[in-house]
Amino acid sequence: MKGILLNTSFVLLLAGFLSCQGKSETAGDQNLVATHPDKTVVCFLYHRFGDARFPSTNTSVTDFEAHLRYLKEEGFKVFSFSDAMDYLHSETPREKVAVITIDDGYLSFYERGLPLLKKYSMPATLFINTETVGATDYMGWEELKAAMADGVEVANHTHSHRHFMNIDTSTRYDVFEADIMKSTDIISEKLGITPEVFAYPYGEFDDGMKRVVKEAGFKYAAAQHSGVAHAGCDPYQIPRYPMAETYSGLAQFSEKASMRPLKVISQSPDDTPLPPDDSRPLLRLTFQNEGLQTGQLQCFVQGGDCELKVMKQNADEIVITVRAGGDLSRRRRTLYTVTVPDSTGAWHWYSHLWINNGVPD
């Protein structure tokens, strides 16, 4: 199992990988109660279906049906993104819960993905960027209405889907707010709904953007990175497993569905921008010791070596530091990822995203 996990983790890192954060200003303001702190939700992210022109964001129809069949046969409850996040903070007893999310609203979802969701009677959440609705290869408003009638939750993915992290901080948050409010207004006008959940374009965000999303009235926001959601997650950076041709086989999918979160209590720093004066930033993590086998702690840094040190360890918590072995300044997005098994053999992980907006995507 260890060898399998290492190979899978490396692939997931290439896709983008971010787990939940324990302490957060925005999360604390939410006043969410973890009635059942052992509950988890696994979210999967898709873009295109059966469109071989774009392998990095495409999932084959065969693989997608295998995913849905697996969830059904293994007894998962499949919820919309909104319902799943509400479930985490409800008094509902623990269940096996999964979420299917789709970003951007490509026409291939309507033509090839949606019929399979209908076949297996499963809901999904579709995050749309309103500027491209009706454009070539994208769903139009009539297709979106039909998808809603078939159980799809339509949610906000901004209007322009631009790289907001490239905008100077002096205007970034005003521009970002105006863009998501424009999208909300258009969705309300065209579909008669006000979305309660949001997804960041390209999975990029910082603390200021999270505050904008919260103040705009959204209950939850999805990142574009892998991990398992739990009741202690920051509600404005919920992780999702990206699906694409090279790592969407059933074996990889089933491994992801069985993963557990590494429950981080605090981290320093807790924001995503790569420090301008430090191309090998040190990350300090404190996480719950849930019977974790600390002798098997591992760390990964996208595209290079990783240095991990255990600073403190007791029955309740573990404190570690993680640092890249090489220079990160040439990459736009880099991830520090920690994985560890527990006494039952189940694997847990956490990942922190660094964004260098001086590097083109």
pLDDT tens digits, the chain, 361 residues: what are they?
334 344 443 334 333 334 466 544 344 444 454 556 789 999 999 999 999 999 999 999 999 999 999 999 999 999 999 999 999 999 988 999 999 999 999 999 999 999 999 999 999 999 999 999 999 999 999 999 999 999 999 999 999 999 999 999 999 999 999 999 999 999 999 999 999 999 999 999 999 999 999 999 999 999 987 889 998 889 999 999 889 888 899 999 999 999 899 999 999 999 999 998 999 999 999 999 999 999 999 999 977 899 999 999 999 999 999 999 999 999 999 989 899 999 999 999 888 889 999 899 8
Q: Do 139 and 273 fall within a single domain?
A: no
253 phi and psi, to 5 degrees? -60, -45
Q: Do 246 and 160 fall within a single domain?
A: yes
Answer whether residue 285 is part of any domain. Answer: yes
Q: Which residue has the tokens 């009235």?
A: 217
Answer whether residue 212 is part of any domain. Answer: yes
**Domain edge (last residue) among 260, 286, 313:** 260
Q: Do 187 and 334 fall within a single domain?
A: no
- CATH number where 225 lies: 3.20.20.370
Q: Do 40 and 128 fall within a single domain?
A: yes
Alpha helix stretches (DSSP H) within 155-201:
169-191
Q: Do 172 and 109 fall within a single domain?
A: yes
Answer whether residue 361 is part of any domain. Answer: no
20 phi and psi, to 5 degrees? -80, 160
Which residue range is the domain that position 154 belongs to?
Answer: 20-260
Q: Do 271 and 165 fall within a single domain?
A: no
- CATH number where 279 lies: 2.60.40.1220
Provide the pLDDT for residue 247: 83
Provide the pLDDT for residue 14: 38
**Domain edge (last residue) among 260, 283, 298:** 260
Answer whether residue 57 is part of any domain. Answer: yes
Q: Do 138 and 240 fall within a single domain?
A: yes
Answer whether residue 304 is part of any domain. Answer: yes
Provide the pLDDT for residue 21: 61
Q: Do 48 and 176 fall within a single domain?
A: yes
Provide the pLDDT for residue 262: 92
3-state secondary structure 139-177: CCHHHHHHHHHCCEEEEECCCCCCCHHHCCHHHHHHHHH
Q: Do 336 and 234 fall within a single domain?
A: no
Provide the pLDDT for residue 225: 79
Provide the pLDDT for residue 320: 98
Q: Counting beta carbons within 10 angstroms of the beta carbon of residue 184, is it exposed (0 to 12), middle (13 to 18) or buried (19 or more)?
A: buried
Would you call 168 helix, strand, or coil by DSSP? coil
**Domain edge (last residue) among 260, 293, 315:** 260
How many domains in the chain? 2
Would you call 254 helix, strand, or coil by DSSP? helix
Answer whether residue 4 is part of any domain. Answer: no
Answer whether residue 35 is part of any domain. Answer: yes
Provide the pLDDT for residue 241: 87
Q: Do 128 and 156 fall within a single domain?
A: yes
Provide the pLDDT for residue 213: 98
Nearest to 288 by CA among 8, 97, 23, 48: 23
Residue 334 host element (H or E): strand 333-341
Answer whether residue 5 is part of any domain. Answer: no
Q: Do 185 and 269 fall within a single domain?
A: no
Q: Do 242 and 335 fall within a single domain?
A: no
What radius of gyration, in Å, describes the C-alpha atoms of the chain? Answer: 19
Nearest to 21 by CA among 205, 247, 276, 162: 205
